Structure 1
Amino acid sequence: MTEHDYTISLNYQHRIRFTRNAFDEGNRMLARLLQTNGRAKVLIFLEDSVAEAFPKLEGEMQEYFSSTPGLELKRIIVAPGAEICKRDEKVLHSVWDAVNEEKIDRHSYIFAIGGGAFLDVIGFGAATSHRGVRLVRFPTTTLSQDDSGVGVKNGINAFGKKNWLGSFAVPYAVVNDFAFLHTQPENVRRDGLVEAVKVALVRDGAFFDWLEDNVQLLAMLKPHALEEAVERSAILHAEHIAQGGDPFELGSSRPLDYGHWSAHKLEQLTDFALTHAQAVSIGVGLDTLYSWRTGRLSENDAKRVLALLDGLKLPLYHECFESKNVNGRRVIFDGLEEFREHLGGELTVLLLRDVGQGEDVHHMDEALLEYCMQMLKKYSAATTADERERVFG
């Protein structure tokens, strides 16, 4: 018997671009970005809400490609987005059907223009067509521009669980077009800032300080502040993926999923009436209090985190925390096992030791978590600074 082990090293270029009005005839960023080899086909998937908000966009894209040598626009397909597209396989199948019908190959491009859920589904379709068609993501929401859109994960929900079916695939490029950002509803623009808070907490204390200093501007959604927060957050997320040593999550540590073990479960328990961003805000609040109560994070820093989330008008509590099974155990705790199961191996949850510094733990005390949930409930109901201060005793 003989054994042979080989190391296969793959190098990916993760291209992140920030621009405005990418399809304006005077903006040639895309023309420089795409490799055409003389002629490349482009298939565009456009989320229906974006098409509605930008009624001239389809015409602008058609005109752009007609004046760009080497690129052939095959079709623009408007499809449903939001969380429902991750639970209905019709959108995924529409990708495969269009790739087949338009004879899209691995030297072609699929453009996905929409929010994070839409990018997940179109990206999964691109990654599984011909074992991988080049994907260009155009995130359109705060949440997708500052976090998920610059990631390397794709997927759809299955078996009642988030992203159970999916793939890791580095997109050919991510184009954050700020022209999309400011047309979103206020709550969508604001909610997405939670991922900026999260990545600052786990990677960059100075960025957290900046978020605190600019909380009023961000709460009012002032464009210059919102764009800077989005760009700094996106870069931190991309740097962690590219330089953190585990882009495809082969290990058990997931620092960018701080606060997410309960967030994913909260989404399920509310049948996704609670958005991902809102659920993450609550999850970040919970794990921050737990970090403090376990002696890792200072009380002052825990207060800073809750104050920032509150200042950004993000939620900190949901009644689903109270849901219990027939044995009297809180249903939210099922999220811990689902979080572990998603990667396999032992449970690994990131907690905070400092603003900008995390620590992996492998056990969560459910009784202490219940205490922290009650603290969040009281904090969320408080209407004055004195009442919030009394929550901490």
Structure 2
Amino acid sequence: MHVIQQTFSVPYSYEVFFTTHLFDSGNPLLKNYLESQAANNLSKRLLVIADEGLIKHHPNLPAQIRHYCASVSGFELAGDILVIPGGEAVKNDMPLFYSLVDAIDQYSIDRHSFVIGIGGGAVLDLVGFAAAVSHRGVRHIRIPSTVLSQNDSGVGVKNGINYKGKKNFLGSFAPPAAVFNDAHLLTTLDPKDWRAGIAEAVKVALIKDAPFFEWLEANATALAHGDLPLMQELVYRCAALHMAHIGGAGDPFESGSSRPLDFGHWSAHKLEQLSNFDLRHGEAVSIGMAVDSVYASLLGWLDQASALRIVKLLQQLQLPVYHPLMENKDGVPSPVIKGLEEFREHLGGRLTICLLKGIGVAAEVHVMDLTLLDKAVETVRSLS
């Protein structure tokens, strides 16, 4: 028998920048970054794809982008800025996905050029996936425009779209070349989107950082009512924890079955789908965290007082903690329960659910007691 084995590693490095008014002519941050990436004596292209919802609130942004990019040496805009719909529905739109791949082809976006996605998490997921599968991967830059994408999804290494009702079934691990968080883009968010993004900060605090959880408790009312300086601190702290996990967990591409950053998500993904995405991702995660926290207390892992603190914080942030879809009805199990099997399948191994043993202390289980889970749902319903 003959065997040839090859082992190699590929280093990845990218930066997350925090700024405001990114495309203001007096802000050199993006210009300096791009010019540092320019190829000698070659003019390369920037394909900009923007979220329609963002453009509605910032109608002058396309003109600002064109003016700003005209001053960048070594790069030129590739045609018009592509404005596409936002929201989870775009991740179910295969013709839209193919149109982005066609645009990358049409404008000759090569590996020295950049695809720049500007918008919420769904748009960034879609744009990142289109970039990842074109030419086996062209560089993409993310400019997240929501709290959720600035503090969580937009700073990670994953991209994806939905398939046959399964969230992120098609996707890739393709780190961005860089991320630029512009706080000004948050100022026009719908209040529900503003608050929904805070759910991921609660999540990462619960599994990694008890003092951050206490900070959220102390500032919950101001955060829920739109305090921008506090939100900027929240985004930074949350993004820092997220980035530290990606680099420090030793499994950035999730080759194992452990995903602690998905606390509260096994039910959230299913809730989003079953509600026809009327529930925002952060709202569904809030419900998932409330149920899983109470479940952990019924399991004897988390003390009851801590579980109640968690539910209370979510309520102070004006986030939902319960939805009727979680209930069993007439002896028929909640359709959300199917999310457990889909979550196991998505992980590619045995079921692994992140729960809490304390605020800031995460642990894993591989079996969920459905009787206790029903009781947790009922408890949360009574609290809501």
Q: Which amino acid is the alignment partner of residue 23 of structure 2? A: F
1:155-200 deviation digits (Å, cap 9, x = unpaired): 1111111011111101101111111011111111111100000000
Q: Distance in 1 between matches of 2:350 and 2:65?
A: 48
Q: Distance in 1 between matches of 2:367 and 2:356?
A: 14
1:39-83 deviation digits (Å, cap 9, x = unpaired): 321000011111111111111111111112111111310111101
The answer as to 2:61 corresponding to 1:43 is: no
1:252-297 deviation digits (Å, cap 9, x = unpaired): 0100000000001111111111111110000000111111111111
Question: Equivalent residue for 2:288?
Answer: 283
Question: Equivalent residue for 2:70?
Answer: 66
Question: Equivalent residue for 2:25?
Answer: 25
The answer as to 2:250 corresponding to 1:245 is: yes
Moved more, 116-125 or 3-12: 3-12
The answer as to 2:367 corresponding to 1:363 is: yes
After TM superposition, list the pairs within 5 Å mapping 1:142-221 onto structure 2.
Answer: 142-221=147-226
1:293-339 deviation digits (Å, cap 9, x = unpaired): 111111121111111101000000001112559x7222211110000
Q: Distance in 2 between matches of 1:196 and 1:40?
A: 37
Matched residue of 2:3: which SS? Answer: coil
Q: Distance in 1 between matches of 2:96 and 2:141?
A: 17
1:108 to 86, 110, 113: 113
The answer as to 2:338 corresponding to 1:334 is: yes
Matched residue of 1:208: which SS? Answer: helix
Query: Does structure 2 retain, via aligned residues, the 8 Å contact 1:147–1:195?
Result: yes
Q: Distance in 2 between matches of 1:231 and 1:324?
A: 42
1:272 to 271, 277, 302: 277
Q: Which amino acid is the alignment partner of residue 10 of structure 1? A: V
Runs of at least 5 residues in structure 2 that lack an aligned partner in the other structure: none
Q: Which runs of 4+ in 1 moved over 6 A?
A: none
**Overall identity of the aligned pairs, in %:** 48
Q: Which amino acid is the alignment partner of residue 373 of structure 1? A: V
1:334-373 deviation digits (Å, cap 9, x = unpaired): 1100000001211000110111110011010000000000
Q: Which amino acid is the alignment partner of residue 28 of structure 1? A: P
Q: Which amino acid is the alignment partner of residue 155 of structure 1? A: G
Query: Does structure 2 retain, via aligned residues, the 8 Å contact 1:80–1:91?
Result: no
Q: Distance in 1 between matches of 2:246 and 2:94?
A: 28
Query: Does structure 1 retain, via aligned residues, the 8 Å contact 2:53–2:86?
Result: yes
Q: Distance in 2 between matches of 1:89 and 1:328?
A: 34
Q: Distance in 2 between matches of 1:49 and 1:155?
A: 20
Q: Distance in 2 between matches of 1:88 and 1:323?
A: 32
Question: Equivalent residue for 1:4?
Answer: 4
Question: Equivalent residue for 2:61?
Answer: 57
Query: Does structure 2 retain, via aligned residues, the 8 Å contact 1:287–1:351?
Result: yes
Q: Which amino acid is the alignment partner of residue 175 of structure 1? A: F
Q: Which amino acid is the alignment partner of residue 345 of structure 1? A: G
Q: TM-score when scaled to structure 1?
A: 0.94
Matched residue of 2:46: which SS? Answer: strand
Q: Which amino acid is the alignment partner of residue 312 of structure 2? A: A
Query: Does structure 2 retain, via aligned residues, the 8 Å contact 1:155–1:164?
Result: yes
Matched residue of 1:363: which SS? Answer: coil
Q: Distance in 1 between matches of 2:334 and 2:47?
A: 46
Q: Which amino acid is the alignment partner of residue 55 of structure 1? A: P
Aligned length: 379
1:298 to 299, 303, 309: 303
RMSD: 1.2
Q: Distance in 2 between matches of 1:328 and 1:341?
A: 23
Q: TM-score when scaled to structure 2?
A: 0.97
Question: Equivalent residue for 1:372?
Answer: 376
